Structure 1
Amino acid sequence: MKGMNEQVRQAVRERMKQQAITHEKLAELTSIQRPNVTRLLTGQSGAIPENWQKVLDTLGLELVAQPKREG
């Protein structure tokens, strides 16, 4: 479970870096308080629920964060 959570967080951090978005700016854009954004990005909160992880593992699936398709 932790691996997938970290993969998602890493993908978000990389995208933020590409777009020059700070924690403060992300908080503003998402209407999430800045301390909560920091918690999400550092793994202090926002873990993928364990039961969902079990379902994904059982079915051979993984959650992937990727850029949205245009259109």
Structure 2
Amino acid sequence: MENLAEQVRKALKDQGVTQIKLAELLDTTQPVVSRTLKASVLNDRSHWPAILDILGLEVFIRPKQP
């Protein structure tokens, strides 16, 4: 199973959105986007919620299968 960052990177590629374009949409810089894609989703200063919103994605949490 892919992790969240891998899924977002795939969505960016599929939608033709570069990190630079995503940074513009988030009103930040490409290095910040790059760090965000490598960072924990639970970071208080995370751009993850906005990134998921821009890409039309949402996160579902469910128990892992044995």
TM-score w.r.t. length of structure 1: 0.51
Compare relative contact order (CA 8 Å, sep 6+) and give the higher one, 1 or 2.
1
Q: Per residue, is there more helix in 1 or in 2?
A: 1
Identity of aligned residues (%): 33
- Greater Rg over alpha carbons, structure: 1
* 4+ residue runs over 4 A deviation: none
TM-score w.r.t. length of structure 2: 0.54
- Report what 2:23 is aligned to: 27
- Aligned residues between the structures: 46
Q: Distance in 2 between matches of 1:10 and 1:16?
A: 10
Q: Distance in 1 between matches of 2:41 and 2:26?
A: 19
- Root-mean-square deviation over aligned CA pairs: 2.6
